[in-house]
């Protein structure tokens, strides 16, 4: 199954299957170890609530579109759109295991003291990979944009941890956060168990 086909599915099914994929941007790369689903099943926590607007319009684009938004006025967060055009679904990439361009990441993230801290959060990984609002709306699957999502042949994680999404108030009980078990590169609070 191609990546484009996979991303066309429902966000809650797709999100955990993005674990293990490779994300590249601006001379650095990492393995996806933590994700969250937004916009599935009338999700009240999603930015897609209320339909397309100026900020969230790329969330309603085709599967594989990148949705980048500013968080708390300071950070950037990156999502990969799933489902059908107009549905408003996306997977928030929350953490990466750094693979390449470690020195570049370190210079972009001076506060990180250890490799485990370079990409262990949605704002942190965007800083480490230099992903900002200029990448919003580009494709991560057709090679035309600065950010690329690839299956590099690494076998997917044998198991996956599930838990509640981070930092939201509405629909906080939905178990729509997934992570690679025991990965030291996952953000806090850590997930454990199935």
Phi, psi of 77 (to 5 degrees): -130, 140
The nearest distance, CB 107 to DNA, in angstroms, is 13
Our CB check for DNA shows the closer of 159 and 162 to be 162
Is position 46 an interface residue for DNA (rule: CB under 7 A)? Answer: yes
Place of tokens 């607007």: 53
Binding mask 66-95 for DNA (x = CB under 7 A): -x--xxxxxx-x-x----------x-x---
- Rounded Cα gap, residues 78 and 94, in angstroms: 8
Number of residues that bind DNA (CB under 7 A): 40
Q: In degrees to the nearest 10, what's the CA dihedral of 32, 33, 34, 38?
A: 30
Is residue 112 within the footprint of DNA (CB under 7 A)?
A: yes
- Binds DNA by CB under 7 A, chosen from 116, 117, 132, 151: 117
What is the nearest approach in angstroms of DNA to the Cβ of residue 153? Answer: 28
- Under the binding rule (CB under 7 A), the answer on residue 30 touching DNA is no
SS (H, E, C) 134-188: HHCCCECCCCCCCEEEECCCCCCCCCCEEECCCCCCCCCCCCCEEECCCCCCCCC
Q: Does residue 171 bind DNA (CB under 7 A)?
A: no
Question: Contact 137/81 with Cβ under 8 angstroms?
Answer: no
Among 17, 31, 165, 177, binds DNA (CB under 7 A): 165
**Candidate list 17, 22, 31, 124; residue touching DNA; CB under 7 A:** 124
How far is C-alpha 63 from the chain's CA centre?
13
**Footprint of DNA (CB under 7 A):** 36, 38-39, 45-48, 50, 53-55, 59, 67, 70-75, 77, 79, 90, 92, 109, 111-112, 117, 121-125, 127, 165-170, 187
């Amino acid at each position: 199954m191609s990546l484009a086909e996979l991303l066309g599915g429902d966000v809650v099914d797709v999100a955990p299957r993005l674990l293990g994929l490779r994300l590249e941007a601006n001379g650095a790369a990492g393995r996806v170890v933590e994700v969250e689903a937004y916009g599935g099943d009338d999700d009240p926590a999603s930015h897609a609530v209320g339909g397309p607007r100026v900020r969230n319009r790329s969330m309603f684009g085709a599967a594989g579109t990148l949705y980048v938004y500013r968080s708390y006025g300071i950070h950037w967060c990156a999502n990969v759109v799933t489902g059908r055009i107009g549905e408003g679904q996306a997977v928030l990439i929350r953490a990466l295991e750094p693979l390449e361009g470690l020195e570049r990441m370190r210079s972009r993230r001076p506060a990180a003291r250890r490799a485990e801290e370079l990409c262990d959060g949605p704002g942190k990984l965007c800083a480490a990979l230099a992903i900002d609002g200029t990448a919003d709306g580009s494709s991560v699957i057709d090679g035309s944009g600065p950010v690329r999502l690839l299956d590099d042949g690494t076998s997917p994680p044998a198991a996956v941890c599930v838990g509640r999404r981070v930092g939201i108030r509405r629909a906080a009980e939905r178990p729509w956060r997934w992570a690679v078990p025991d990965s030291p590169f996952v953000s806090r609070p850590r997930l454990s168990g199935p």
